[in-house]
Chains A and B, each alone.
Chain A
Amino acid sequence: MSSAAGPTRRRRPPLLVVVVSAVTIAVFALPLAGLLGRASWSTLIDDLTTPDAVDSLRLSLICSLAATALSVLFGLPLAWLLARVEFPGRSLARGLVLLPLVLPPVVGGVALLSAFSRRGILGEHLYDWFGLQLTFTTAGAILAETFVALPFFVITVEAGLRSMDRRYEDVASSLGADRWTVFRRVTLPLVAPSLVAGAVLSWARALGEFGATITFAGNIIGRTQTLPLAVYLQLESDPDTAIALSLVLLVVSLTVIVSLRDRWLGAS
């Protein structure tokens, strides 16, 4: 953290600030504490190893990792373009790609349906020409998760690219390196922290996706029933398993946040 604010003074913070902060932290800690309290610890391992639970854990892992890979593959060139190249409509392009950040996920699912279902504007042709159906498939779940996760990657990496010192790139070019070499040997290492942060954020977002997945890919055990869907639908029939799965998601999310803390607030 920058210490350019002047000499630090050893004074107690204002009481009101402390009280409000304590209340806020308590409000956020209570749900976690509640979950830990309601969990059935003695049956935890059994609950997590039921066939449906294993299916949803496996699916979540596969889909979220695939969505992250796609986000990196497609997000990196886009982030580079948005950060480096001035082109007409750049703001609009950025707005479109970042839209899923604020769009309610189920709306995203409906939008995906209107584009990629068998009656959708593109999906219709995919089905008629190639017999390809994305809805109710694992690929569809990956698509839904990528739709919501990629913007996280793009926004993080674009920020990193904008804030890095470009003189290194210029020097490398002047020394004779071609653009790809400059990108590979100079740019990428310099934005590596943003790349990692972006990938981790988009992975966490993909893992937790519910609305778009259930709307577009449906809820098929072993095929599209990822962790959040399993939790939601098993809450009635098997609450102990649902809570055990919730704990898994909670622990993962907490780890992500804690590990990213320095990345967000530290210098890039």
Chain B
Amino acid sequence: MMNATMKATAILVVLAVALTGCGSDDDAVSDTTAPQTAAATADESTAAATPAVAGTITVSAAASLTGVFTTLEEAFTAANPDATIDINFGSSGQLSTQIQSGAPADLAAFADEAPMAVLDKAGLLAGPAEIFARNQLVIVTKPGNPKGISSLADLATAGIISLCADTAPCGKFANQALASAAVSIPENSVTRGQDVKATLTAVAQGDAEAAIVYVTDAAASGDSVATVEIPEADNVVAKYPIAVLGSTQNIELAEAFMAFVLSDDGQAALGDAGFLSK
């Protein structure tokens, strides 16, 4: 009797494990809405200047846009109540690959022109991409900067450094900045995050000493990290393109939201979040 019960329990447990998925947890870190930070000045009146649009679109947006695009989405849908904007945040490289593999998206907003160019070359864009913002890199450390990091060179000896994966724009740019400063961090001291938010979390919540992320991410984290500037000579300017995708089912709504992002009010919200003007 006990024999059968224990066996049944054990089999049920194995099934339960299979259901909870002991494999990849790729919804672990990305795709979460970030806390609101800088007060949004996105004015609803601009969003409502054109006749209200309706329907649902999906936007694939770079992780560094988490805070500001959430704000813009709220302003846009407040002015266009019949519109629903679902935003899928992630690493631009990953998002671009997903779109190439047929993931349904209407609008794409990336942190680098390269993943967008790939989509353009594959004929997946409905119209030309436009730059809507720019960003720069910054070093973040634990609050109070306990290791006294003052430059990129200090990162080589500070301990565990968190960088984005090479396929994420922030990782590619971090590599460029380090190369420009002729700094080489030992490979066994570098932990790579799958997008910029995960990279910053390793410092804010975990034990990484420092990370290279965007200025806007540092601003969004507030007091949970300290910042160290990267000199202009080594810093990289990231250009953020936005484009409507050919697979869109609702081109009016997609174009309307893209226009809103490019409008004065959209630009004001981006500026408040720390982005450089387009």
A and B physically associate: yes
Residues of A in contact with B (beta carbons under 8 Å apart): 98, 101-106, 113, 117-119, 133, 135-136, 148, 155-156, 158-159, 162-163, 205, 208-211, 214-215, 218-224, 228, 231-233, 235-237, 264, 268
Q: In the assembled complex, which residues on chain A have CB atoms less than 8 Å from the CB atom of B50?
A: none
A236 pairs with B167, CB closer than 8 A: yes
Asked, given contacts A159-B7, A208-B22, A211-B28, whether A232 binds B207 with beta carbons under 8 Å apart, the answer is no
Q: In the assembled complex, which residues on chain A have CB atoms less than 8 Å from the CB atom of B182?
A: none
Q: How far is the CA of A158 from the CA of B13 in the complex (A)?
A: 14
Q: How far is the CA of A220 from the CA of B165 in the complex (A)?
A: 11
Q: How far is the CA of A105 from the CA of B9 in the complex (A)?
A: 21
Contact pattern, B 24-49, Cβ under 8 Å of A = 1, otherwise 0: 11101100000000000000000000
A222 pairs with B187, CB closer than 8 A: yes
Q: How far is the CA of A268 from the CA of B6 in the complex (A)?
A: 11
Nearest-neighbor residue (CB-CB) of A159 within chain B: B6
Interface of B is mostly: mixed
User: Would you call B150 an interface residue if the criterion is a C-beta within 8 Å of the partner chain's C-beta atoms?
Assistant: no
Q: In the assembled complex, which residues on chain B have CB atoms less than 8 Å from the CB atom of A163?
A: 2-3, 6-7
A233 pairs with B2, CB closer than 8 A: no
The distance from the CB of B29 to the nearest CB of chain A, in whole angstroms, is 8
* 25 contacts across the A-B interface (CB closer than 8 A): A104-B20, A105-B25, A106-B29, A117-B206, A133-B207, A136-B160, A148-B22, A155-B13, A156-B10, A159-B6, A159-B7, A159-B10, A163-B2, A163-B3, A205-B22, A218-B208, A220-B192, A221-B187, A228-B24, A232-B24, A236-B94, A236-B167, A237-B166, A237-B167, A264-B14
User: Would you call B97 an interface residue if the criterion is a C-beta within 8 Å of the partner chain's C-beta atoms?
Assistant: yes
A219 pairs with B2, CB closer than 8 A: no
User: Would you call B78 an interface residue if the criterion is a C-beta within 8 Å of the partner chain's C-beta atoms?
Assistant: no
Q: How far is the CA of A222 from the CA of B208 in the complex (A)?
A: 17
Q: How far is the CA of A106 from the CA of B205 in the complex (A)?
A: 14
Q: How far is the CA of A138 from the CA of B96 in the complex (A)?
A: 32
Q: How far is the CA of A228 from the CA of B23 in the complex (A)?
A: 8
A102 pairs with B20, CB closer than 8 A: yes
A220 pairs with B16, CB closer than 8 A: no
User: Would you call B189 an interface residue if the criterion is a C-beta within 8 Å of the partner chain's C-beta atoms?
Assistant: yes
A233 pairs with B20, CB closer than 8 A: no
Question: Size range of the interface on B?
Answer: 35 or more
Nearest-neighbor residue (CB-CB) of A233 within chain B: B165
Q: In the assembled complex, which residues on chain A have CB atoms less than 8 Å from the CB atom of B162?
A: 218
Nearest-neighbor residue (CB-CB) of B162 within chain A: A218
A106 pairs with B25, CB closer than 8 A: yes
User: Would you call B17 an interface residue if the criterion is a C-beta within 8 Å of the partner chain's C-beta atoms?
Assistant: yes
A101 pairs with B188, CB closer than 8 A: no
Asked, given contacts A136-B191, A163-B6, whether A218 binds B202 with beta carbons under 8 Å apart, the answer is yes
Q: How far is the CA of A231 from the CA of B6 in the complex (A)?
A: 36
Q: Which 7 residue pairs spanning A and B have beta carbons closest together? A: A218-B191, A211-B25, A236-B167, A135-B207, A159-B6, A106-B28, A163-B3
Nearest-neighbor residue (CB-CB) of A211 within chain B: B25
User: Would you call B274 an interface residue if the criterion is a C-beta within 8 Å of the partner chain's C-beta atoms?
Assistant: no
Q: How far is the CA of A106 from the CA of B16 in the complex (A)?
A: 16
Q: In the assembled complex, which residues on chain A have CB atoms less than 8 Å from the CB atom of B188?
A: 220-223
B16 pairs with A101, CB closer than 8 A: yes
User: Would you call B131 an interface residue if the criterion is a C-beta within 8 Å of the partner chain's C-beta atoms?
Assistant: no
Chain B, 176-211, CB within 8 A of any chain A CB: 187-194, 202, 205-208
Q: In the assembled complex, which residues on chain A have CB atoms less than 8 Å from the CB atom of B93?
A: 236-237
